[in-house]
Amino acid sequence: MLALTRFAMNTNTLAGTLEEKLRAVKGAGFGAIVLSGADLVGHRDGVEEAVELVIGSGLNVLAFQMLHDFEGLSGHMLDYKIDIARSMFDMMRSVDAPLLIVASTTSPYASGDARKIADDLAMLGTLAAPPGIRIAFGALAWGRWINEYTAAWEAVKLANHANVGLAIDSFHVLARGTSRESFDAIPGEKIFLVQLSDYLWDLDDLIETARHRRVFPSEGNHNVAIVDLVGRLERAGYRGGYSFDVVNDEYLHLPAPSVAARGRKAATWLAAQAATARH
């Protein structure tokens, strides 16, 4: 069942201070959020105060975003990224965030060797295990070597690590036009997170749209595809959370409660569509 309690809001979708974002998400009826490091280190009263606000909000932290350009590096560049990851783990522990989202690399210095990519993901999964954190690896539509969820899944399979799973982002699936049929072959327990958004216009500039013009499900041009995507994941056995990663410049000029309410409307719409599809 696609219960409303499984939906979360990403803080990067909302304008305002951390306090305002937390209040808006809670007020819209959500029980969870997806945070970024900037939410904590950017707080005017410091990281410790930001952590207290998150813990005191009553919201669960579904995931933490985002580690970029990790896999495929070597030497001092890889050492640097490992150090960044460990610092992120420390922040995640402070707010009980169980999941780190890792985006496929865009770095020109990264190797495309499948074994190297898998080994790096497995290493990251091992580093994350003592703090009790899991790794959700997802494909950016403009990734250098991995730019479709099917390729990300192959990397996760090859990594063969219990702590490493797949992150699905509907925007990137839609943008690449990847067939959704392959979801049927992915075990639900190896999908660690699903992020949802849509878009309105043709993708004349993929990155521009991804970073500035996403919309909520039910507001875009791909309602049927998103309902099909969610239905396939549910039938595959996915029982994790769905977060709204809706980066939109226009939303950042609206009050946070107004945008959070749009998110709640999208969650209600998706739950209703899923219920209808079962009958």
Domains and CATH numbers, the chain: 4-278 (3.20.20.150)
Distance CA 71, CA 28 (A): 37
Distance CA 110, CA 101 (A): 19
**Inter-residue contact 197 to 216 (CB < 8 Å):** yes
Residue 207 burial (CB count, 10 A): 13
Q: What is the pLDDT along the chain (279 residues), one digit of tens a residue?
A: 688 899 999 999 999 999 999 999 999 999 999 999 999 999 999 999 999 999 999 999 999 999 999 999 999 999 999 999 999 999 999 999 999 999 999 999 999 999 999 999 999 999 999 989 999 999 999 999 999 999 999 999 999 999 999 999 999 999 999 999 999 999 999 999 999 999 987 777 888 888 999 999 999 999 999 999 999 999 999 999 999 999 999 999 999 999 999 999 999 999 999 888 765
Give the pLDDT of residue 1. Answer: 65
Give the pLDDT of residue 204. Answer: 76
CA nearest neighbour of 155 among 126, 192, 113: 113
Angle (CA) 271 276 279, round 5°: 135
Query: Which amino acid is located at 27 in the chain?
Result: G
Distance spanning both ends of the chain, measured CA to CA: 12
Bridge partner list, 272 = none
Distance CA 168, CA 182 (A): 12
> pTM of the full predicted structure?
0.95
Distance CA 74, CA 4 (A): 43
